[in-house]
């Protein structure tokens, strides 16, 4: 060997050692920055390490490793995103905001397993507000990344997930698994999100709404260089298929905690530092601690995920169609935000009620941008003291419905008053004695008619598919529908000519209308939009009178004789039925084939005298539909288990009601038994 070749060999060895050291050092700083939010060096120092590595690899191309940080953005943009099936379905989680429902869940699994809650070990970890991912490693190397998609098939986003700095392209440790499918959440930290939006603002580009939307959009960009400019993170929380994954003490992991520790040992990012494993009381206390620290965490967290830790018990508990029985997402309470009231508009409801709505400057609360908040009525406005120009505190109750909690800063505006006329048709508004609601008394008001149609076609009423708000606007504004009965005179060809309809949409609407002609009587009564009559009152009326004809013929005294119906409701129903326009509308419905299914009334019907209670989830029909079926056959519904209960129908996750029914000797039917009963009594 010549002196020159010996020198070259020593240079290569030195370069190789330095490259290995740089990759390890950069990986350590990536984890400190992206996972733990504890950077140990400045951006300039980090860039210097990355530049040195790039120069060494350029001088020694044979030493460039596939897991090098310099290779994360080396791929070409993809032409399209392919669909990839999951080996195991990626299920979603059942959600709750209620501690009692967590207790019910624990009770259901302890009953199923035949153990006490004190004998079980649970895990609790943050529920991250990101995008579910599956990352696949083969023989220790990154192979593919796939989104959850519909749970069975997801999108191949390998080209963008390779750019995630905290995610290793090659697993650490002496023995990497032959196959490892790791599930987790792609997230964007608050700092990264703010940095991306600052850069976009400087460039005059539209800002992203929230970190989750940014993470989701980044995963599906076609150019990995764009993804690298929007620093994503990933936190691993579960497994798919694995071959050769070993726990710290040897052997396969026996539970969730051991599995997460094994992933961390391989260099994968997890939330072990923010998790807890132990008895139920401990993990629930950890949930409360996470809630208290919610705003201190570097990323968005909207709750905790509580799991049965043991894999063996998870296997016994099994899966539902969409979620595992052994886990539940315990969501945090509503979030709040402040904004300014820009205007107070008035909406017209189906009964003519004029409802004030605050139009606010867009405010981001719990992942949603809010621009409108109902103020309910004039008394609520007076209570809050809200007016245009005020800064208000907004909360999303249950992370769903926004409401104004109070005024934080009063603006210079004048107090707001309800309008004296309907804002849609101009009819003078009417105040009703004893009510806080101000109404438009014009039954032909387009605003009233649109809301009535919207209520009539809703799921709680006639459940007519395909009739949405935009179509309703076209039907009313175009004069095609002037009353509810006109829906049943619609023509498929004319519908197809409307904007954004077409033949298929028109056919779907016509099929929905056809199916609705024989909906159960309570649905029609509810759908008519009678003042003071909702689902419960509609059911009472249907159960008492049985048919539409009998209801229409009922006197005021007859109506007042219905259990649970007070004088004001009875008067409202009789006034509606006596109204010439409403009578004519009902007559035209009947002429056009509306024949609501009768309800067994007055203790008649094959299930008369029997009482039913439903618990758990049914697969073949909704609980509402099941209740309607037995009530139409003469049965009554109970709200709880007692000695007066005839039949308990128990679906998936029945909870404590099943145990109590069994103790009392109540007849219990599963879904198959319930369907068989319906067939028997119908024959």
Here the CATH number for the domain that contains residue 528 is: 1.10.150.20
In this prediction, residues 265-269 reach a mean pLDDT of 92
> What 3-state DSSP class applies to 337?
strand
Into how many domains does the chain fold?
Answer: 6
- Looking at per-residue pLDDT, the higher value among 622 and 430 belongs to 430
**Per-residue pLDDT reduced to its tens digit, 631-661:** 888 888 887 788 888 999 999 888 778 988 8
Of 331, 358, 375, which one is at a domain's C-terminal end? 331
pLDDT band of residue 508 (cuts 50, 70, 90) is very high
Paired strand residues for 234: 186
Report the pLDDT value the prediction gives residue 73, as an integer from 0 to 100: 45
**Residue 460 is part of which domain span?**
446-516
Same domain (yes/no): 304, 422: no
In a domain, 142, yes or no: yes
pLDDT at residue 681 tops 90: no
Report the pLDDT value the prediction gives residue 78, as an integer from 0 to 100: 53
Same domain (yes/no): 102, 183: yes
Report the pLDDT value the prediction gives residue 9, as an integer from 0 to 100: 62
**Per-residue pLDDT reduced to its tens digit, 158-214:** 888 888 878 888 898 778 899 999 999 999 888 888 888 888 878 877 777 678 878
pLDDT at residue 4 tops 60: no
In a domain, 152, yes or no: yes
pLDDT band of residue 517 (cuts 50, 70, 90) is very high
Token digits for 426?
A: 């101009």
Report the pLDDT value the prediction gives residue 559, as an integer from 0 to 100: 93
Nearest to 141 by CA among 68, 192, 89, 80: 68
Q: Phi-psi region for residue 251, left (φ > 0), alpha (ψ -120 to 50) or beta?
A: left
Three-state secondary structure readout of 95-144: EECCHHHHHHHHHHHHHHHCCCHHHCCEEEEEEECCEEEEEEEECCEEEE
Report the pLDDT value the prediction gives residue 3, as an integer from 0 to 100: 52
| CATH number of the structural domain spanning residue 630 | 3.40.50.10190
- Looking at per-residue pLDDT, the higher value among 591 and 204 belongs to 591
Q: What is the pTM of this model?
A: 0.49
In Å, what is the CA distance from 629 to each residue of 637, 646, 647?
11, 16, 14
In a domain, 14, yes or no: yes
In a domain, 170, yes or no: yes
Which DSSP helix (H) or strand (E) runs through 629?
Answer: helix 623-632
Report the pLDDT value the prediction gives residue 646, as an integer from 0 to 100: 92
Same domain (yes/no): 511, 525: no
Same domain (yes/no): 278, 248: yes
In this prediction, residues 474-492 reach a mean pLDDT of 94
**Per-residue pLDDT reduced to its tens digit, 550-570:** 999 999 999 998 887 888 899
Report the pLDDT value the prediction gives residue 244, as an integer from 0 to 100: 92
In this prediction, residues 61-78 reach a mean pLDDT of 64
In a domain, 439, yes or no: no
Question: Alpha-carbon distance 463 to 351, whole Å?
Answer: 19
pLDDT at residue 47 tops 70: no
Of 405, 434, 463, which one is at a domain's C-terminal end? 434
Report the pLDDT value the prediction gives residue 486, as an integer from 0 to 100: 95
In Å, what is the CA distance from 551 to each residue of 525, 570, 578?
10, 11, 12
In this prediction, residues 589-614 reach a mean pLDDT of 84
* Residue 331 annotated in active site: no
On whether the CB atoms of residues 280 and 122 are closer than 8 A, the answer is yes
In a domain, 507, yes or no: yes
Of 331, 355, 377, which one is at a domain's C-terminal end? 331
Question: Alpha-carbon distance 544 to 257, whole Å?
Answer: 57
Report the pLDDT value the prediction gives residue 510, as an integer from 0 to 100: 94
Selected catalytic residue, list 11, 127, 403, 631: 127
Same domain (yes/no): 164, 15: no
In this prediction, residues 29-57 reach a mean pLDDT of 69
How much of the chain exceeds pLDDT 90, in percent? Answer: 44
Report the pLDDT value the prediction gives residue 582, as an integer from 0 to 100: 94
Same domain (yes/no): 269, 194: yes
Query: Could you give the angle at the alpha carbon of 124 between the alpha carbons of 118 and 129, nearest 5°?
Result: 155
Question: Alpha-carbon distance 637 to 644, whole Å?
Answer: 11
In Å, what is the CA distance from 496 to each residue of 123, 206, 487, 491?
54, 36, 15, 9
On whether the CB atoms of residues 521 and 540 are closer than 8 A, the answer is no
Same domain (yes/no): 536, 649: no
On whether the CB atoms of residues 313 and 113 are closer than 8 A, the answer is yes
In this prediction, residues 12-18 reach a mean pLDDT of 79
In a domain, 634, yes or no: yes
pLDDT at residue 66 tops 80: no
**Per-residue pLDDT reduced to its tens digit, 125-144:** 999 988 899 999 999 999 99
Q: Phi-psi region for residue 318, left (φ > 0), alpha (ψ -120 to 50) or beta?
A: left
In this prediction, residues 487-507 reach a mean pLDDT of 91
Report the pLDDT value the prediction gives residue 234, as an integer from 0 to 100: 92
pLDDT band of residue 42 (cuts 50, 70, 90) is low
Alpha carbon of residue 46 to chain centroid: 40
Token digits for 238?
A: 């579960």
Which segment of 147-161, 275-289, 442-456, 508-522 scores lowest on mean pLDDT? 147-161
Question: Alpha-carbon distance 472 to 361, whole Å?
Answer: 28
List of residues 6+ apart from 144 with CB closer than 8 A: 84, 135, 136, 156, 158
Which segment of 54-68, 140-154, 182-196 scores lowest on mean pLDDT? 54-68
On whether the CB atoms of residues 419 and 346 are closer than 8 A, the answer is yes
**Per-residue pLDDT reduced to its tens digit, 466-481:** 899 999 999 999 999 9
On whether the CB atoms of residues 184 and 131 are closer than 8 A, the answer is no
| CATH number of the structural domain spanning residue 29 | 1.10.287.610
Same domain (yes/no): 509, 538: no
**Per-residue pLDDT reduced to its tens digit, 70-98:** 665 444 555 678 888 999 988 888 888 88
pLDDT at residue 620 tops 60: yes
Which DSSP helix (H) or strand (E) runs through 371?
Answer: strand 368-374
Nearest to 220 by CA among 134, 142, 161: 161
Same domain (yes/no): 499, 359: no
Mean pLDDT computed over every residue of the chain: 86
Report the pLDDT value the prediction gives residue 602, as an integer from 0 to 100: 55
| CATH number of the structural domain spanning residue 304 | 3.30.470.30
In a domain, 222, yes or no: yes
Question: Alpha-carbon distance 179 to 182, whole Å?
Answer: 10
Same domain (yes/no): 10, 37: yes
Report the pLDDT value the prediction gives residue 591, as an integer from 0 to 100: 95
DSSP state of 429: P
pLDDT at residue 397 tops 70: no
Same domain (yes/no): 50, 150: no
On whether the CB atoms of residues 542 and 533 are closer than 8 A, the answer is no
In this prediction, residues 229-253 reach a mean pLDDT of 89
Report the pLDDT value the prediction gives residue 75, as an integer from 0 to 100: 45
pLDDT at residue 278 tops 80: yes
Same domain (yes/no): 146, 282: yes
Report the pLDDT value the prediction gives residue 405, as an integer from 0 to 100: 83
On whether the CB atoms of residues 452 and 353 are closer than 8 A, the answer is no
């Amino acid at each position: 060997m010549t002196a020159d070749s010996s020198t070259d060999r020593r240079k290569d060895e030195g370069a190789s050692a330095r490259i290995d050291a740089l990759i390890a050092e950069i990986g350590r700083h990536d984890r400190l920055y992206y996972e733990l939010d504890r950077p140990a060096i400045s951006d300039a120092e980090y860039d210097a390490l990355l530049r040195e590595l790039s120069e060494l690899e350029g001088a020694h191309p044979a030493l460039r490793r596939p897991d090098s940080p310099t290779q994360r953005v080396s791929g070409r943009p993809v032409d399209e995103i392919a669909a990839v099936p999951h080996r195991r379905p990626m299920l979603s989680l059942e959600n709750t905001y209620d501690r009692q429902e967590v207790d019910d869940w624990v009770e259901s699994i302890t009953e199923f397993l035949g153990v006490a809650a004190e004998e079980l070990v649970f895990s609790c970890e943050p529920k991250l507000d990101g995008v579910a991912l599956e990352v696949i490693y083969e023989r220790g190397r990154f192979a593919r990344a796939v989104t959850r998609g519909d749970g069975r098939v997801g999108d191949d986003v390998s080209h963008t997930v390779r750019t995630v700095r905290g995610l290793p392209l090659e697993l650490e440790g002496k023995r990497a698994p032959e196959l490892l499918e790791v599930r987790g959440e792609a997230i964007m930290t608050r700092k990264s999100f703010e940095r991306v939006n600052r850069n976009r603002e400087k460039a005059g580009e539209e800002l992203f709404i929230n970190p989750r939307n940014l993470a989701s959009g980044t995963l599906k960009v076609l150019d990995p260089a764009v993804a690298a400019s929007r620093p994503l993170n990933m936190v691993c929380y579960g497994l798919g298929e694995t071959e050769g994954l070993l726990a710290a003490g040897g052997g396969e992991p026996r539970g969730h905690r051991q599995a997460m520790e094994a992933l961390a040992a391989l260099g994968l990012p997890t939330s072990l530092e923010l998790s807890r494993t132990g008895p139920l009381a401990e993990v629930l206390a950890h949930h409360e601690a996470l809630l208290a620290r919610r705003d201190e965490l570097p990323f968005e967290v909207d709750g905790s995920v509580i799991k049965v830790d043991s894999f063996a018990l998870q296997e016994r508990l099994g899966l539902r169609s969409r979620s595992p029985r052994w886990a539940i997402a315990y969501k945090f309470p509503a979030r709040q935000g402040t904004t300014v009231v820009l205007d107070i508009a008035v909406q017209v409801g189906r009964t003519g009620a004029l409802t004030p709505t605050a139009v606010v400057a867009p405010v981001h609360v719990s992942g949603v941008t809010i621009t409108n908040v109902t103020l309910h009525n004039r008394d609520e406005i007076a209570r809050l003291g809200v007016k245009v120009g005020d800064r208000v505190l907004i909360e999303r109750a249950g992370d769903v419905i926004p409401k104004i909690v109070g005024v934080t800063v009063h603006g210079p505006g004048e107090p707001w008053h309800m309008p004296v006329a309907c804002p849609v048709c101009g009819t003078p508004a009417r105040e009703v004695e004893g009510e806080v609601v101000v109404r438009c008394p014009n039954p032909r008001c387009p605003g009233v008619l649109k809301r009535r149609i919207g209520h009539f076609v809703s799921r709680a009423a006639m459940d007519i598919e395909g009739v949405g708000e935009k179509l309703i606007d076209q039907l009313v504004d175009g004069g095609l529908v002037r009353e509810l009965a006109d829906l049943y005179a619609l023509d498929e060809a004319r519908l197809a000519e409307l904007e954004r309809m077409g033949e298929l949409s028109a056919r779907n609407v016509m099929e929905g209308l056809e199916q609705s002609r024989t909906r159960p009587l309570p649905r029609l009564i509810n759908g008519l939009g009678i003042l003071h009559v909702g689902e419960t009152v509609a059911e009472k009326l249907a159960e008492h009178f049985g048919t539409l004809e009998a209801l229409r013929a009922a006197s005021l005294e007859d109506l007042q004789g219905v259990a649970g119906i007070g004088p004001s409701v009875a008067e409202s129903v009789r006034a509606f039925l006596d109204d010439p326009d409403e009578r004519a509308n009902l007559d035209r419905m009947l002429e056009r084939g509306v024949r609501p299914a009768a309800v067994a009334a007055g203790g008649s019907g094959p299930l008369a005298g029997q009482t039913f209670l439903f618990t758990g989830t049914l697969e073949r029909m909704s609980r509402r539909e099941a209740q309607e079926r037995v009530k139409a056959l003469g049965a009554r519904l109970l709200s709880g288990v007692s000695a007066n209960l005839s039949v308990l129908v128990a679906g998936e996750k029945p909870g404590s009601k099943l145990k109590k029914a069994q103790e009392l000797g109540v007849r219990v039917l599963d879904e198959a038994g319930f369907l068989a009963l319906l067939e028997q009594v119908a024959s």
